[in-house]
Amino acid sequence: MRTIILILIVFISAFVKAQTNTVLDTIYANDTKNVALFFPEPIRQGITGSDNFVFTYNREKGQYFGLLQAKPGKESNLLVVNRNGSIFSYIVRYKKQLSKLNYFIPLSNSIGNEKPIVIDSIQAETSEKSIDNRTYYYHKFCSYLLNRNQRIGRIKKRNEGIVLSVKNIVFDKEELYFVIQIENNSTLDYDLNFLNLSIETRQKGKKKSLQSLYQEPIYKHNLPSKIAEGKMIQFVYVLPKFSLSNDRRTILELNEKDGERNIELKISHRYINNPN
């Protein structure tokens, strides 16, 4: 009975929140391939609204990904609750031919949290002040790093006159600061579509494969939308501190808007585990 009540509460909370949002994203699946969904926190519960959709995940060990399969039939919905209470909701549809098999879902896609937050005005003011203080600290420390002449190593890659490099990685308090540089040596302006940071795991065994998990920065300092020809821009990504084993590495993916001058920069675990 307790489980049923919890499911109803989650569905109602998600439904109410969804009414104030835009149309839910759609995920397609079929009965011949596994569609993998990677979440920012381990999955605690996953529910589909129809029997012709099956969402499987490790119920004993909290893993970050689940697998979706579908049989022909009417569209339905998928509701996923992470370990931290974040709720994600999607429309799911059957499609015979799939063009996408992996979905990396950022925390920003959450439609809400199953735990209601009730605080009085004094607590709210204190919380807002704490957030403001943290943002102010990030801003000041990032500005300091950009003016600091310190390097961590040669981490650089180029493509058609565009040079992406990581100048420094600094650990402070509980965060890692990535000082990133984009240099435009081409004769055309560079319009930035996105710059994503992910952790890539190399699977061992006979069938070697790679799995990538997107990391959402908690603060971005001076991130540009355009780098003019002949110009160089430096900015900072702030992420919660993490460390990597030998079979994992960080990937910095630069993508050009309406262009093909894309770069994938690999950062060894040695730099992550030994920051300045």
- Of 85, 113, 141, the residue at which a domain comes to its end is 113
Quick check: is 166 in a domain? yes
Average model confidence (pLDDT) across the chain? 84
**Residue 145 in domain:** no
Q: Residue 29: which CATH number?
A: 2.60.40
Asked if the model's pLDDT at residue 106 lies above 60, the reply is yes
Q: Are residues 161 and 50 in the same domain?
A: no
Same domain, 165 and 266: yes
Residue-level pLDDT at 14: 46
Rounded average pLDDT over 250-257 = 93
Binning pLDDT at 50, 70 and 90, where does residue 237 land? Answer: very high
CA-CA-CA-CA torsion for 156, 161, 162, 167, nearest 10 degrees? 30
Residue 4 confidence (pLDDT): 46
Q: Are residues 159 and 104 in the same domain?
A: no
Q: Does position 263 have pLDDT exceeding 90, yes or no?
A: yes
What's at 210, amino acid-wise? L
Q: Helix, strand or coil for residue 17?
A: helix
Residue 136 within any structural domain of the chain: no
Structure tokens, 147: 């003016």
Indicate whether 232 pLDDT > 70: yes
Residue 59's pLDDT is what? 81
Measured distance CA(255)–CA(259) in Å, rounded: 8
Bridge partners of 170, per DSSP, are: 177
**Tens-digit pLDDT profile for residues 4-41:** 444 444 444 444 444 444 467 899 999 999 999 999 88
Specify the higher pLDDT residue, 215 or 208: 215
Domain assignment of residue 91, given as a range: 2-113
| Domain-embedded: residue 122 | no
The closest of 89, 42, 50 to 69, measured between CA atoms, is 50
Does residue 159 sit within a domain?
yes
Task: Please compute the mean of the pLDDT values over residues 111-115 and round it to a whole number.
Answer: 80
What pLDDT, in 10s, does the model give residues 128-161?
555 567 888 899 899 999 998 888 988 999 999 9
Number of domains comprising the chain: 2
Looking at the structure, do residues 266 and 156 belong to the same domain, yes or no? yes
Which candidate, 237, 215, 276, 226, places its Cα nearest to that of 142?
237
Which pLDDT tens digit goes with each residue over 47-67? 998 889 999 998 877 789 999
By C-alpha distance, which of 202, 192, 182, 208 is closest to 250?
Answer: 202
170 and 105 within one domain: no
| Range 245-251 average pLDDT | 89
Query: What are the distances in angstroms from CA 250 to CA 32, 95, 212, 257, 264?
Result: 31, 33, 9, 23, 10
DSSP one-letter string for 27-68 = EEE-SSSPEEEE-SS-EEEEEESSTTEEEE--TTTT-SEEEE
The predicted pLDDT at position 157 comes to 94
Where residue 173 sits, what CATH number does that domain have?
2.60.40.1150
Share of the chain above pLDDT 70, in %: 82
CA distance 273 to 103: 27
On whether the CB atoms of residues 29 and 69 are closer than 8 A, the answer is yes
Residue 204 has what pLDDT? 62
Domain boundary among 83, 113, 143: 113
Residue finishing a domain among 113, 133, 166: 113
